[in-house]
Amino acid sequence: MESLSNMHFNLRYLILLIAVSSSMASISQKETEKEITFISTKIDSIDLQREKLLVKLEELKLNKIQDDLSAVGNPICSEEIEIIYHKAMILGYNENHEQAQWVSHIVLPDVEEGNVSRTNNFRKDELVTSGTASKADYWYSGYDRGHLAPSADFRWSKTALSESYFYSNMAPQLPELNREKWAELENAIREYVIENKIQVYVVTGGILNDSLPRMQNKGRENEVSIPGFFYKVILDNYNHRGIGFVMPNGNCNYPIMSYAISIDSVEALTGINFFSKIKDEDLTEQKVDIDIWQLGTKKGNVTPLNPTTLEKGMINSVQAQYNIGTKSTVCGTVVSTKYSEKSGATFLNLDNKFPNQIFSATIWKDNRANFSYIPEVELKDRKVCITGNITNNKGTPTMNISNEKSIKIITEENEGNQ
């Protein structure tokens, strides 16, 4: 009987223990759920606060852009324009040409981390009192709606990127320009900003005059002028340096730095005084040092020789692409050389370095004995004219050199006689 009584006691104790444990587990589970809810609510609150701070930060940056643009001064020109102040850019709208005479904006280092996607929300600019161009003016015209201030420069801000799609920021650009060299130039400016971690000021527009043709597509609503050339001027006010570019509205076969000129030269072409409040203009506007604006693999590239300065029958490195299959004399600056120990060959690149080369020459192993000097050493940074048959090597014009007689080194003396 005593054994049976102990068994009943142990059973009651076990049941009580299970009940207590179950109750404690239930309390523990509720506490965990409460903790999860508390932390989740806290995170939501932090996210909401973060979003509010980001909106405020964007607003402050846009305000600073306006202050900084004001500090360098709006472009000044004799044309009758309406100045429009948007949050991320300022523009001078020319009603006679139905496009901006100039658009001024700033490229911030924030562009590196910006991830706002294109909106393609092209629309009229309601701030322009005379009205702007419209979709009908560009549709089936054969011309792209070319951004003057590029949308990619504003990918750090939804507000700024949205503004870039106003038709007041558009001009008719042929696809050959807009999607190629013009886009390459815009990207090069962003690379400069990211590499140097500073902001730059940019003013862009078409070179406008009364003799320009107008778009003639059916259904157009306005008479939009077609610029023959577009300009872009860039100011790095921190380092007191500036550069300008002028490109034709069409194919641009030369490297982008071939279109670089001084800001003063762009002012002479456009009749516009850029950065009107900047002092020390001699430093920022009259001088152009192309090399400091080139980065990464493009650093060290040079402008191809002006073909009009070459002797009759000679061509520059860019013209070589149109002479594939012919015997020609190609002139340029040897900006990079390489000797391959594996193959014994020497490679020379004119004007643009690998991997952006526009013309290359090769001295194969068996032909090195025909040189009285070490070609990869002696020819580096020298201006030369190379004669031989131009062939196509994976899209790059190239030439095989058999002996040193095929290479003429251009000295300062004979360069002046060309």
User: How many Cα atoms are found within 13 Å in the side-chain-facing hemisphere of 162?
Assistant: 5
Per-residue model confidence (pLDDT) at position 231: 98
Domain extents in the chain? 1-63, 73-297, 307-416
Q: Which residue has the higher pLDDT, 280 or 249?
A: 249
pLDDT category of residue 18 using cuts at 50, 70 and 90: low
pLDDT category of residue 270 using cuts at 50, 70 and 90: very high
Q: Do 73-297 and 307-416 come out as alike in CATH topology?
A: no
Per-residue model confidence (pLDDT) at position 10: 62
The CA distances from residue 222 to 137, 169, 172, 174, in Å, are 6, 15, 13, 19
**What CATH superfamily is the domain 307-416?**
Nucleic acid-binding proteins (2.40.50.140)
Per-residue model confidence (pLDDT) at position 280: 62
Letter string b/e over residues 265-276, b meaning 16 or more CB atoms within 10 A of that residue's CB: bbbeebebbbbe
User: Which residues have CB under 8 Å from 288's CB, separation 6+?
Assistant: 243, 244, 260, 261, 262
Spatial separation of the C-alpha atoms in residues 70 and 90, rounded to whole Å:
10
CA end-to-end span of the chain, whole Å?
A: 128
Per-residue model confidence (pLDDT) at position 37: 82
Tens of pLDDT, residue by residue over 191-246, are 999 999 999 999 999 999 999 999 999 999 999 999 999 999 999 999 999 999 99
Paired tokens of 309: 């300065």
Any idea which of 235-249, 272-286, 385-399 has the lowest mean pLDDT? 272-286
**What CATH superfamily is the domain 73-297?**
Extracellular Endonuclease, subunit A (3.40.570.10)
Per-residue model confidence (pLDDT) at position 98: 98
The CA distances from residue 174 to 96, 177, 276, 401, in Å, are 21, 6, 31, 39
Tens of pLDDT, residue by residue over 71-113, are 999 999 998 999 999 999 999 999 999 999 999 999 999 999 9
